Amino acid sequence: MRKRIGKTIALLTTLTMAMGMLSGCGASSGSKSSSGPAEVEGDFDGTVSIAGIAPLTGSFASWGEGAENGYNLAIKEVNEAGGVKIGDKSYKLESAVFADDKSDATEAASAYNNCASYDVSAVIGSCSSSCTLSFVEEAQASSMLVITPYSTNATICKTGDYIFRECFSDANQGPTLAKMATDEFKATNIAIVAAEDSDYCAGLAEAMEGALDSTDGVKYEHYGCVTTDTDYTAQISKAIEQGAEVIIYPNNYDTVPNFVQQARDAGFDGPILGGDAWDGTDVTGYEDKFNNCYYLAHVDLSADTDAVKSYVGAYKEEYGSDSGLNAVSSLYYDSIKMLVQAMEEAGSTDPSVIKDALLKITYESMGGTITYDENGDAVKPFTIETFENGELKYYGSF
């Protein structure tokens, strides 16, 4: 018999909107990132500009490094291949600005205003759901095309027809995590520990719980925390007391090592599952603790596929190391390549035309084939990653 033990969850949506009207100014000149895309010479008929947003500083700066690098690498490769081809003309792809949202929703709204002050065809960003939520309503009202590579909160693309994502949505990620727990690991007693002050964490937990509520023979309990917590012993003790066979911890990578260590030290040796924001977790010093841990990912960068090998090789050659080489970097890279494909299929750099082409697109990303539903949410496969003595390994896919 299905039993729902308890639930304490508060979905806090941070919507910090910029005041006043946004107007375009000039083409793609003005401030650029100091590490912008390498200049590519060519015989172009003109330029088409885009802009990007990511956390270059703040708590998620390691995501931002990869995001900017993937974004710039894609622009360079587009131009080396002859630019954006519209009809019988070829346009150089340029970045007007790559703005830092500092991992903060208020700063993200300002970063968007900076991007929107240029004459751009699209804005690519941002990483965290709270940051992206801070500007998508303004973007929709201004008919600005936005593709977020890494913000999974289910409400984002419901904002309107100019808002898309390259990543999967929590509306799909949550049920997939629930399915992993119940189908793959045969759990009938589950504990969820999720930060209630994060749009991403709370939204993902809510989607998981909705799926578990409709699963017969499964009971679960939700134990709340906040993103600044460092001590999870109370939540973990309650999970062990309830007899949880699986713990799901759908929180950001910077908090994961503490949680996993404390769970293992408390004697929980069962599976610990996470969402895509586990990507980038530093397991140094915790290697043995992460055995039997799993998370949903957008791509396996160790995959033996031409697309992944080509990207990893080009990234290391361009930047001299694998610093920042993570799923976020690949999502920003693929967002640019997908945008260019949509422009070329639309035969236009006008956002109002590109958005219609995106809805019809079939794009081969590093993580698999992407199509779009009517809301602008990506339909794509899930990759499952695990750890073996601290080494990230491919586990499977859904």
Could you tell me the pLDDT band of residue 114, with boundaries at 50, 70 and 90? Answer: very high
CA 144 to chain centre: 20
Same domain, 175 and 290: yes
Query: 206 lies in which domain range?
Result: 170-297
pLDDT at 7 over 60: no
Report residue 195: phi and psi, to 5°: -75, 125
pLDDT digits 0-9 by tens, 277-301: 999 999 999 999 999 999 999 999 9
Last residue of a domain, one of 237, 271, 297: 297
Residue among 261, 286, 268, 300 at smallest CA distance from 386: 300
* DSSP strand pairing (383-388 vs 391-397): antiparallel
Q: Tell me, what's the pLDDT at 38?
A: 77
Q: Tell me, what's the pLDDT at 6?
A: 36
The mean per-residue pLDDT over the stretch 351-358 comes to 98
The string of DSSP letters for 261-311 reads HHHHHTT--S-EEE-GGGTT---TT-GGGGTTEEEEES--TT--SHHHHHH
> What's the mean per-residue pLDDT of the chain?
91
Last residue of a domain, one of 297, 320, 353: 297
Which residues fall within 8 angstroms of residue 320, CB to CB, at 6 or more apart? Answer: none
Q: Tell me, what's the pLDDT at 117?
A: 98
Q: Are 103 and 131 in contact (CB under 8 A)?
A: yes
Measure the CA–CA gap between 192 and 273, rounded to whole angstroms: 9
Q: In the chain, what percentage of residues exceed pLDDT 70?
A: 91
What HEC string does 39-64 produce?
CCCCCCCEEEEEEEEECCCCCCHHHH
Measure the CA–CA gap between 244 and 237, rounded to whole angstroms: 10
Same domain, 73 and 162: yes
Q: Tell me, what's the pLDDT at 135?
A: 98
Q: Tell me, what's the pLDDT at 398?
A: 81
Same domain, 52 and 201: no
Same domain, 309 and 248: no
Q: Tell me, what's the pLDDT at 32?
A: 38
Residue among 270, 214, 215, 216 at smallest CA distance from 242: 270
Q: Tell me, what's the pLDDT at 39?
A: 81
Q: Tell me, what's the pLDDT at 35?
A: 60
Instruction: Decide which of 1 and 85 is more confident.
Output: 85
Same domain, 243 and 267: yes
30 in any annotated domain: no
Q: How many domains does the chain have?
A: 2
Same domain, 314 and 208: no
Could you tell me the pLDDT band of residue 121, with boundaries at 50, 70 and 90? Answer: very high
Q: Tell me, what's the pLDDT at 296?
A: 96
pLDDT at 31 over 60: no
Q: Taking the model in full, what pTM does it have? A: 0.87
Same domain, 85 and 134: yes
Q: Tell me, what's the pLDDT at 199?
A: 92
The mean per-residue pLDDT over the stretch 129-142 comes to 98
Q: Tell me, what's the pLDDT at 29?
A: 30
319 in any annotated domain: yes
How many CB atoms are located within 10 Å of the residue 282 CB?
A: 11
Report residue 314: phi and psi, to 5°: -65, -40
pLDDT at 203 over 90: yes
The DSSP call for residue 125 is -
pLDDT digits 0-9 by tens, 153-179: 999 999 999 999 999 999 999 999 999
Q: Tell which phi-psi region holds residue 67, choosing left (phi > 0), alpha (psi between -120 and 50) or beta.
A: alpha
Same domain, 192 and 163: no
Same domain, 292 and 316: no
34 in any annotated domain: no
The mean per-residue pLDDT over the stretch 218-232 comes to 97
Same domain, 317 and 241: no
